Amino acid sequence: MPRTGPETKLRRKIKKGLEDEVGGEWWTVHGGPFQSGQPDLCGCVRGLYIAVEVKTDTGRTTPLQEATIRRIMEAGGLAFVARSPGYATTRVKRWLSKHGLENTKEKPSSKSTAKEVERYFLSKAAGKRSRR
């Protein structure tokens, strides 16, 4: 039987908001005995890893979830707790902007070849070096 509790409904809304507003690839990590502490949503946008722990207004993170969020951040990804779709999309957009990826919905698209994606990122990196 599918889960339809308040956190599940919120996770679906957050996932849809991220897909619509940010783009990239997003997937749900389904709970189970081997997924303890894993974020509810994971995504990859322009090669950057993002993890979202979804909580309702009254939900609390476990020490294991907090440790996972910390490890992801230390590894260079973005991980955070989201209680609304608006907060999640704003947080991700700001982080992407910090990495020079303000408009994530523009090229390269999901149909781009690996070479096109590589050229795009190399041109972005060259632009950042020339601005220093």
d(CA 87, CA 10): 12
Domain annotation for the chain: domains and CATH numbers: 6-105 (3.40.1350.10)
Q: Which are the contacts of 47, defined by CB distance < 8 A and separation ≥ 6? A: 121
Look at residue 107 in the predicted model and tell me its pLDDT.
Answer: 47
Tokens matching residue 43 = 């995504």
Look at residue 131 in the predicted model and tell me its pLDDT.
Answer: 46
Nearest to 83 by CA among 42, 123, 40: 40
Q: What is the pLDDT of residues 77-94, one digit of tens each?
A: 999 999 999 999 999 999
Look at residue 30 in the predicted model and tell me its pLDDT.
Answer: 79
Look at residue 26 in the predicted model and tell me its pLDDT.
Answer: 95
- The average pLDDT across 67-76 equals 96
Residue with tokens 């230390």: 74
- Count of Cβ atoms closer than 10 Å to residue 29 Cβ: 15
Look at residue 1 in the predicted model and tell me its pLDDT.
Answer: 46
Mean pLDDT, the chain, whole residue set: 84
Q: What is the pLDDT of residues 23-53, one digit of tens each?
A: 999 999 877 777 788 899 999 998 899 999 9
d(CA 129, CA 132): 6
d(CA 29, CA 55): 14
Nearest to 5 by CA among 50, 71, 63, 56: 56
Q: Is the backbone peptide bond immediately before 108 cis, with ω within 30 degrees of 0?
A: yes
Query: Is the model's pLDDT at 106 over the cut of 60?
Result: no
